[in-house]
Structure 1
Amino acid sequence: METKMKALLSYAPYDNRYEDVPVPTIGNGEILLKVKGCGICAGDIKAYHGGIRIWGTSEEDRYIEAPCIGGHEFYGEIVQKAADVEGFEIGDTIVSEQIIPCGICRFCREGKYWMCTRSAVFGFKQYANGGFAEYVRLDKNCLNHKIPKSFTSEQSALIEPIACGMHAIERANIQHSDVVVIAGLGAIGLSMVNITSLALPKLVIGIDVKENRLAMGKEFVVEEIMNLTDGLGCDVYVEASGSPRSVRQGMDSLKNLGRYVQMGVFAEEVTADWNVMGDGKELTIIGSHLSALTFPSVIKGIESGLIKTEGLISHKFALADWKEAFQTAEKDPNAVKIMLLP
């Protein structure tokens, strides 16, 4: 096998570099994956723009370990595996969950690995280099899943983002009598509308207003939700856009005793009127982090046809054309999910 590969490394905000780097070497329990495709997450775009969630305000609170290879929405083919790896063979097409859990912290020991205190998400740590590359090393603690042979490349690349959306919907604990609003109709948001509908709630409302139009659309959106709910508001508001203004929109749209689910990632810190949450509407505020235990269900849902994937991958670019891909993800009104092909 060649000793060098092409990869997209993040050095600093606005400083991504397409470079030659060594192909990873594997040790006990590890797998070398030849990347077949990797989606661009909104978090990848925000990291490029120096979002505080990734770069922090100083070295002390910085999450990213630069330079590192980005990308956590990847899938690929096993080309090497250690002798002690069981359940997988060379040639298998697999997807790996987006976090490498430590396996020893309290959350890992309790089976809640997605909340691992090490929080090693692919693409943000040097020991967890991601899928914007020709090859990825899968650590012995990675959670890997076989992809059915019937899956298209688009379906395979969508497993990770859809799994994140499914976890958010699980956290919402949707009832049949609920009116549910999904704010932010990217690939994940559209999938959440799909998954929410399978729970047969009273009504599902999907809303999406681009950031540059959100100020104009906010009042209309809240008014329309009120009209659709006899002036009471929605039972559940799932924030999947990562827009700070969407938080206020959600608070205004929810009925008394409503449930607010935060799934989108913000580039900066967000403020809200806590009186609305407490002394006002007595809202339940719910966070949603990564994908928890949903990968097998997402794969089963896609395979059965219950989870739709058609049209969610709107554009494909060669990894070398990453600049155009990032610009398309940011600026093209027809962009849904962008996939990079090493």
Structure 2
Amino acid sequence: MAVRGSIPKTMKALVAYSKDDYRLELEYPTPECGPDDIIIKTEACGVCAGDLKCKHGAAMFWGDDVQPSWVKPPFIPGHEFFGRIVQMGENVTGYELGDRITADQIVPCGKCRFCKDGHYWMCQPHDMLGYQYYNNGGMAEYVRYPKTCVISRVPDEMSLEQAALIEPYGCSKHAVDRANISNEDVVVISGAGTLGLGMITYARMKNPKLLIVLDMQQNRLDKAKEFGADLVFNPGECDIDKEIKALTDGYGCDIYIEATGNPASVIQGLTIIRKLGTFVEFSVFGKETTADWSIIGDRKELNILGSHLSPYAYPFVIENMLKGNLKTDGVVSHIFKIEEWEKAFDYATGKYGDFKVAFQFD
């Protein structure tokens, strides 16, 4: 097999052997390059809320009495990453060693009905980078991109801080696109973490009638205003239903986008949204959420939409970050070495005021 480029036989990597056993390995085997594969040397990798929930043993990852385990250890976490090509298989065309690239989180099979009809992000096997041993993620010095990865080029002039946000902002774009915002809509985005901020700056480009953001932390509300929110509210300090109804002649908001992963935010949204409104749910939840479905059907006839991953979003996100249309200043607040992974995961919780933290590799 002809392989272009060379890499060391071992690398530094954070490896999840079980939900209770994450280890930094200093000499973990580097990925092998097949004839259709690309190997990148990782430049940086963000820490996602999903990475934290997986580390904390959430059932949607590790399974429970109802659902089987989705993750397949031992695996290397991380799906918000990018890097430069250092090795390519003999069948790879269109790329050169040294090219700076990233890829969608999903690794589509290319064979199921969803892949064949263009809905690759809903691929039936649903393997993802950073959760299975055969699709290891970016919390390592080197990563393998299989043949079916959806790859995008990362411009050399793009900063590390911007490039680390391509994946989360891609998810944000998809969620806002699902809402189909018009300039007549009063839009409420619940949650101003990294994903919420990506939604806010993109929703601002849609020019809604009113863009309102909810969060429990003042620093996040301040950043939301900076990124384009017209109004911000802390649900812990005011009656959100009263505030929204006062702004909408008693009807409620037209669109509610839920980006907190907190069950209380779901109930809040069903309360403040108007009849025939649109509710978009993006979050990964750490526990079950219960809602009164009679509100959704009998009382309000709501449009309930899910949002998953970042299909067809990366090129737009990359272009508009560089143009300054999508704001990114201050979102990536701390950069760590992989040896500091425990500290990085701690900071990624947001308890110290961070939005996004990332690992940088030499």
TM-score with structure 1 length normalisation?
A: 0.95
Equivalent residue, structure 1, for 2:335: 316
What is the Cα deviation at residue 31 of structure 1?
Answer: 0.4
Cα deviation, 1:75-131, whole Å, max 9, x if unaligned, reads 001001112212211101111111110000000011110000011111111111100
> 1:222 and 1:148 mapped to 2: Cα distance?
44
1:243 aligns with 2:262: yes
Equivalent residue, structure 1, for 2:173: 166
Answer whether contact 1:179 1:234 (CA < 8 A) is retained.
yes
Equivalent residue, structure 1, for 2:229: none
What is the Cα deviation at residue 207 of structure 1?
Answer: 1.2
Answer whether contact 2:60 2:67 (CA < 8 A) is retained.
no
1:125 aligns with 2:132: yes
Structure 1 pair 299–75 and aligned structure 2 pair: CA distance change class (3 A): same
User: How large is the RMSD of aligned CA atoms in angstroms?
Assistant: 1.7
SS in 1 for 2:109: coil
Equivalent residue, structure 2, for 1:98: 105
Equivalent residue, structure 2, for 1:284: 303
Amino acid at match of 1:269: E
> 1:23 and 1:66 mapped to 2: Cα distance?
16
> 2:313 and 2:246 mapped to 1: Cα distance?
34
1:229 aligns with 2:236: no
Which of 73, 86, 106 does residue 66 from structure 1 map onto? 73
> 1:275 and 1:58 mapped to 2: Cα distance?
28
Cα deviation, 1:202-254, whole Å, max 9, x if unaligned, reads 011111126xxx99718623332222222211111111111111100110110
What is the Cα deviation at residue 21 of structure 1?
Answer: 1.1
1:40 aligns with 2:59: no
Which of 6, 10, 17 does residue 12 from structure 2 map onto? 6
**Runs of 5+ in structure 2 lacking a partner?**
1-6, 218-232
Identical aligned residues as a percent = 45
SS in 2 for 1:328: helix
Which of 162, 176, 181 does residue 183 from structure 2 map onto? 176
Amino acid at match of 2:19: P
> 1:120 and 1:74 mapped to 2: Cα distance?
17
Answer whether contact 1:218 1:249 (CA < 8 A) is retained.
no
TM-score with structure 2 length normalisation?
A: 0.90
Answer whether contact 2:261 2:285 (CA < 8 A) is retained.
yes
Answer whether contact 2:241 2:271 (CA < 8 A) is retained.
yes
Equivalent residue, structure 1, for 2:196: 189
What is the Cα deviation at residue 59 of structure 1?
Answer: 9.6
